[in-house]
Amino acid sequence: MIRGSLLVAAVLIAGCGYHLRGASVQTSIPSAYVKGSEGVEVTSDVVRALRQAGVQVRDSPVDAAVVIDLMQQTQSTRTLSYTDRATTAESQLELAIRFKILGAEEKELVPDRWARATRTYLVDTNNLVGSNQQQQLMDSELRTDVVQQIMRSVNAADRQLQAIH
């Protein structure tokens, strides 16, 4: 009975247009070149998202419809609260990627901007392995969030390209 209810709920959710966070974003840009500066760890994630969206990822900017320039990455962890024993009780992770998107003849389609994501998690000093696993999960979610923000900017660039043509 429970299985049937779950199946019905899954079908209803899928049918209403709901998408899980991290679901691929579609775009009509035919090709892109991703320029990842040193220290930008999400470059391969952006390439993967573009391929999932049906974009042909080029090895050079020469034949690409757009160039996605991933210029800088910052990542930080800060303590939000402490326990009564002066150990960390709650931490916040932040990931930020500075990027811009260029079109033909280096025309700026999306100006220099930051894609940012933050997550907060509880630190259990009695279960450090679990807290470490939770932090790794949060890191993965941050990467997914900033990549999705960049992909939404790719869609904005796509609309600009269509307006030009």
Domain extents for the chain?
A: 25-164
- For 25-164, CATH number out of 3.90.1150.10, 2.60.120.380, 3.30.160.150, 3.40.50.300 equals 3.30.160.150
pLDDT digit string (tens) for 41-74?
999 999 999 999 999 999 999 989 999 999 999 9
> Whole-model pTM?
0.77
Give alpha helix (H) positions in the chain. 2-15, 43-52, 128-164
pLDDT digits (tens, 9 = 90+) for 84-110: 777 777 888 999 999 999 998 889 999
As a whole number of angstroms, the distance between CA 77 and CA 64 comes to 36
